[in-house]
Amino acid sequence: MIILKRESDIAKIRESGRIVAWAMRLCSESIVPGKTTPKFLDELAEKLIREKGGRPSFLGYRGYPAATCISVNNVVIHGIPDETPLQEGDIIDLDFGVYKEGFHADSAWTFPVGRIAKNAERLLNITQESLWQGISKAKVGNKVGDISATVQKYVEANGYSIVRELVGHGIGRNLHEEPSVPNFGRAGSGPVLKEGTTICIEPMVNEGTYDVVTLEDGWTMVTKDGKLSAHFEHTVAVTREGPEVLTVE
């Protein structure tokens, strides 16, 4: 069942979203090639979230051991933060959520570590644009499949592949709610988007094949061919005025 949100609910998601965006920015600004570790960024994100009166949505969720998912290079999603220093040329996906006053918000962004190769830069640009393309379809009366098809068409037209095993999701009092929001599919399919629907749109785009492998830790998912992957995500409200991005400062 899709839980429609009142304006007062959306206001609380918006507040959680502001904290996500603020903490995300400060973490990204703290990245120093050859020095900064994912573990440091995880601890910083948790400190910032709690400073604003929230709590990390991911910590303890289904047994997840950290406040953030930090995925580097060929890690698609759910990378567990460790002490390996980030290197010049890496790409790093920061993914985390905030729970405050009964509501979650969730966002992810893939950042360059120092100067990166042209192919990595293009992957980030295409993946980010595919997110905005998908968000543009989050309108009252459209269907979830309109978002899915738009993301897939843009990504594949640019020579990349969309991960199939992971999808976006509804969000609200629970971190994951209905509906599922795939990044692939057929326009005109799926649930109708109604005013008050709140969803996370999150393209996960691979440089090579869309096939992924889960590592022995049970969380970390990597590209099967070892090529790069990028991930961008916003929490979005469907309103009568159009899509509203809630994970911004």
Q: For residue 165, which of 89, 109, 117, 229 has the smallest C-alpha distance?
A: 229
Contact 218, 225 (CB under 8 A): no
Residue type, 115: R
Domain 7-245: assigned CATH number? 3.90.230.10
Task: Express as a percent the part of the chain with pLDDT over 70.
Answer: 100
Distance from C-alpha of 132 to C-alpha of 115, rounded to nearest angstrom: 24
pLDDT at site 8 = 98
pLDDT at site 239 = 98
Domain boundaries, the chain: 7-245
What one-character DSSP code corresponds to residue 39? H
- Residues 219-235 have pLDDT tens digits of 999 999 999 999 999 99
- Residues 133-167 have pLDDT tens digits of 999 999 999 999 999 999 999 999 999 999 999 99
Model confidence at 90, pLDDT cuts 50, 70, 90, reads very high
Q: For residue 150, which of 165, 163, 133 has the smallest C-alpha distance?
A: 133
pLDDT at site 229 = 98
Look at the alpha carbons of 201, 101, 95, 29 in this order and tell me if their dihedral is positive or negative: positive
Provide mean pLDDT across the span 50-69: 98
